[in-house]
Structure 1
Amino acid sequence: MSFPAATTAQTVTHTATGADSAAVAQSVVQSVDWLAIAPPTIAAVVALAVLVADLFVTDARKALLGWVSVAGLAASLVMLLPLLDGDRSTFCLTGEPGVCSYTADRFTLVIQFLVLGGALLAALLSVTALKDARKGLPEGEFWFLLLSSAAGAALLPASRDLATLIVALEVASLPAFALVGLRHGDRRSSEAALKFFLSSVTATAVSLMGVSFVYAATGTLHLTRIAERIQDVDGQLHTLAQTGVVLTLVGFAFKTAAVPFHFWVPDTYVGAPLPVAAYLSVVGKAVGFTGLILVTVIALPSYADVWGPALAALAALTMTVGNVGALRQQGTRAYSAVRLLAWSSVGQAGYLLVPIAAAAYSDDAEQSIGSTVAYALMYAAVNLGAFAVAALVGRTRTLNRITDYRGLYATNPLTALLLAFFLLCLAGLPPGVIGLFAKVAVFSAAVDAGLGWLAVVMAVNVVIALFYYLQWTALLFRAPEGAPVKHLVPAPLTAAIALTAVLGIGLSGAPQLILRFADTGLF
């Protein structure tokens, strides 16, 4: 349902390219469909409400801010349900059907479910983390930053012009810098925030330069119009457009932690509060991959010969470096469990890149992208589950070493079984059926696109990953060294672990619930 009362009009000028180089005046009518934009809007409004309420709430009642934030994210998720009845668009150009800045289609809703669900689980982890923090974290600021970042992440998949896309990307990223470095006086936290900030600023600068080149070549920022006009550019404009495509890809490669732009990941995950690391591993990654999909598949399909080989090479390099880095982690090193999950997330990013690269070679690009979405949904559920268990162990074992998980089954049998299940899902082994099926979908996308060499590289990396996932899993069931430590599970942590367990186990029993996205079009 559209609400035309909030309508303004303004005139902008677009420069046509190709045969017709005359300036064409377009009237832009911004008719706000409040229902379509409700999910990110609710998150943003609750963020502001929490920040203001923090000024008036006493220290003894600060915990209420966390539960208000959890409720706000849950409300944002609920508002996705009315949007399931059909595609909705807003902020559209008059006289240009389908040329809009915001579109809530099936692809948008799936990604919004992923990022808002991931933010909700990270919020549940944060409720306990803020309560246990020995060095106090400013709760009002924490929840404001988390909700603001979630609002930007939810806006991004609906963005259908480059300006909105970049703004959403920065709204999702800027609060994350502060979240990483929010522990005042903590050297590791400050170093992590600085590395994350510098890498992200570099990525943004490169992306903006690439976007400006694409705009100069096409005269438009809307993704569908770029796809139409960029096919007709020639001469120097063609070179300019190619340069813009490459620079845009490099910028998003930073955001997705693709090798060689991954250097910030291990130290950032270790230095950040663990719930923030969990948030970055899922929501931060989803933001980068969603932007990459929108730019390549929707805006630049005619330049598949440029971004296809580049993404295929990045996928092979990323999964190899990530898995080798995880394999080298020493179990007795401080924070080795978090470092292993960090390197594992780099390796998983390589798998996620495979279907996007395959879309450049496939006759059915939508099915290839569907494989990435299916894999991302699986990865989000089980990886957040692994981080939830790591947060539980970290409450009593502050160094969070891999060896600290030895004998977990003896003291917390259900938690140990669930962590084993999450790790087996990431490895792609039964009973983690959803992990196996998601990997098969990604592998099939590469084979169907004729990227046999990339499928072989992926198979080798899956075998490498088996070693460290199984090694960690086996450690859970060994006899504990010294006096066993009973890990008490607070209610918010219990809820986070239970939700991820239900998702992982339920989807393993009915993998078609996710894999159907790999069989049907998303756009």
Structure 2
Amino acid sequence: MSLVQSVDHVALLPAYLAAGTAVLVLLADLLVARAGVTVAVAAVGSAATALGATLAGAGGERRSFCVGPDCSWVYGGRAALVAVVFALLTLGVLAISGPLLRTGRTPVGEYCFLLACALTGGVVLGAAGDLITLIVAVETLTLPLYVLVGLRRASRAGAEAAVTFFVVSVVATTVTLLGAALLYAVTGRLHLDALGATFAAGADDRLDLPLTTVAVALVVAGLAFKVAAVPFHAWAPATYDGAPLPVAAYLSTASKLGGVVALLAVVQRALPATTTGPVLALLAVLTMTVGNLVALRQRRTVRLLAWSSVAQAGYILAPLGALALAGGRGVDARAGAYAAAVAYAVFFVLLELAAFAAVVALRPADGDGGTLDDLRGAARRHPWVGAAFALALIGLAGLPPGLAGLFAKVTVVRALVAGHAGWLALVVALNAVVGLAYYLRLAATLYAPSGPAPARPARSVVVALGVATALAVLLGFAPQLVLDVAAR
């Protein structure tokens, strides 16, 4: 067999564009040294990455870095969807970062460069075909976020949040690497499809060793950190609250999406569902329950959104947890579970970005999220911003007219029922009812009769809020489109 690797440059185009954006941002900051030009280069590069990802994925699945049947880069419809969503999230975060960057406390060049680096990791993550590429992509996505969290000058809260995030993340990465090493020791495989074929064959006695179960558990536990799943969630509320609001928005959306994509890749293609299914089902139940119950007691806006995002992670993990029961129910049940997880993640990140954009619009430049009382009556003074914020909250709760959130929850429940995990569907439904309490409370606070006068929203933030809300609404009317792409 030839050891020469095949390289498909069209499949690699989105990664080239994302990495090129990071390089161009550095050059623009060095040679031009104007904040507006630097931000414009980052924005244009993100838009070009989204366009390139769409074009590269239009011709069907493409593979690169292949030796025989094993490929390290598999670019299809789902990888294109992930790349486009990451690019749009980066554009949205750049738009809502205007007030923060204009204060002068955050260096613009470094900020845009780190966002572009994180974008590169997200693009690579969607197409990763082996464990090494997957873990490197996750770390490329995560490492810039350590610095972004603590990038504000003279911010003690930001420094504490960055250290917390860094320490816990390093431990999670170590656990993932140990699990991957043990998997390689047991199977001699690194490519995801080859690992899946090895476990499916089940002919080797080594696959029944306790070491194999430990390896699978370590990989799942390490990646569960990225989605802030219980008991790997403690870093999220403190980190979100200490980070600048736009960075908290990126953490809550892009970082969580990256964890979902990584978990989905190893669960769908590499690891045995009979082992991962019960573990993920337990994580899903604990995550959605703890997240919702603790969110009920929150009085700070960002902490409430952080705990609600923990609960949302539980809803995303639920279809993956049903795979053990769906394993004997046919390909359609398994495909439905995978597509439901991806579709829910896409709808969630759009609604979450809209919610954070609204908080940025209603709070002072370079300020934190404040308390719920600080937003009292904000919708009366800024009706359009308040209406978009309320719509995002209602969508996260899964109520009409937030059709995107409603469809996402219905899709998850339907996938669980199809996978004969009715008990898990019941837990999702009960937790969704609990979540109504704090989402509707915050929405009602926006329309309360009195409160402090909110800051005048920046134009770029209002535009980002409008676009994110409009995308969520439009996709709510065409949900099958997301499911079809996610299933590819």
Report the Cα distance in structure 2 between the residues aligned to 1:177 and 1:30, rounded to whole angstroms. 34
Of residues 209, 212, 223, the one that matches 1:252 is: 223
- 1:359–1:366 contact (8 Å) kept in structure 2: no
Aligned pairs (5 A) from 1:2-151: 27-58=2-33, 61-83=34-56, 84-94=58-68, 96=69, 99-133=70-104, 136-151=105-120
1:415–1:138 Cα change, 3 Å: same
TM normalised by structure 2 equals: 0.94
1:348 is aligned, of 295, 312, 317, to 312
Task: Flag the 1:189–1:87 CA change in 2: closer, same or farther, 3 A.
Answer: same
| Structure 2 unaligned residues grouped into runs of 5+ | none
CA distance in 2, matches of 1:345, 1:106: 26
What SS does the corresponding residue of 2:209 show, helix, strand or coil? helix
User: Identity over the aligned pairs, expressed in percent?
Assistant: 41
1:124-273 to structure 2, matched below 5 A, reads 124-133=95-104, 136-230=105-199, 231-235=202-206, 238-273=209-244
Q: Which has the larger radius of gyration?
A: 1
Matches within 5 A, 1:454-493: 454-481=424-451, 484-485=453-454, 487-493=455-461
RMSD: 1.7
Q: Once the 2 structures are TM-superposed, how far is the Cα of residue 449 of structure 1 from its aligned partner? A: 1.5
Contact 2:39 / 2:94 at 8 angstroms: preserved in 1?
yes
Give the helix-richer structure, 1 or 2.
2
Q: CA deviation at 1:43?
A: 1.5
CA distance in 2, matches of 1:394, 1:374: 31
Residue 361 of structure 2 contacts residue 462 of structure 2 at CA under 8 Å; is this kept in 1?
no
Measure how far apart 1:236 and its partner are: 7.5
Contact 1:321 1:347 in 2 (8 A): yes
Which whole-Å deviations, capped at 9, do the CAs of 1:156-203 have from their partners, x for residues lacking one? 110001111111111111111111111232111111111111111111
SS of the residue 2:147 aligns to: helix
Give me the whole-angstrom Cα distance separating, in 1, the residues matched to 2:219 and 2:54: 33
The amino acid across from 1:32 in the alignment is V
**Alpha-carbon distance in 2 for matches of 1:515, 1:290:** 15
Which range moves more in the overlay, 146-155 or 443-452?
A: 443-452
CA distance in 1, matches of 2:203, 2:122: 33
CA deviation profile, 1:223-269 (whole Å, cap 9, x unmatched): 11111223233148633222211111111111111001000000110
How do 1:504-523 residues align onto structure 2 when only pairs under 5 Å count? 504-517=472-485, 521-522=487-488
1:464, CA displacement in angstroms?
0.8
Equivalent-residue separation in structure 1 for 2:167 and 2:204 (angstroms): 34
**What's the CA shift string for 1:379-430, capped at 9, x where partnerless?**
1111100000011112267552211221122211111111111000000111
Q: Give the Cα separation in 2 of the matches to 1:239 and 1:453.
A: 29
Name structure 1 gaps, 5 residues minimum. Answer: 1-25, 331-335
Counterpart CA distance in 1 for 2:473 and 2:207 is 54
Using the TM superposition, name which of 401-410 and 270-279 deviates more: 401-410
CA distance in 2, matches of 1:169, 1:244: 18
Q: Distance in 2 between matches of 1:85 and 1:46?
A: 24
SS in 2 for 1:31: coil
Name the CA distance, whole Å, in 1 between partners of 2:173 and 2:180: 10
Q: Which moved more, 1:113-122 or 1:508-517?
A: 508-517
Deviations 1:22-41 (A, max 9, x none): xxxx5432333222111122
The TM-score normalised by the length of structure 1 is 0.88
Q: Deviations over 1:51-77 (max 9, x none)?
A: 23322334xx22220111011000000
Q: Secondary structure of 2:79's match? A: helix
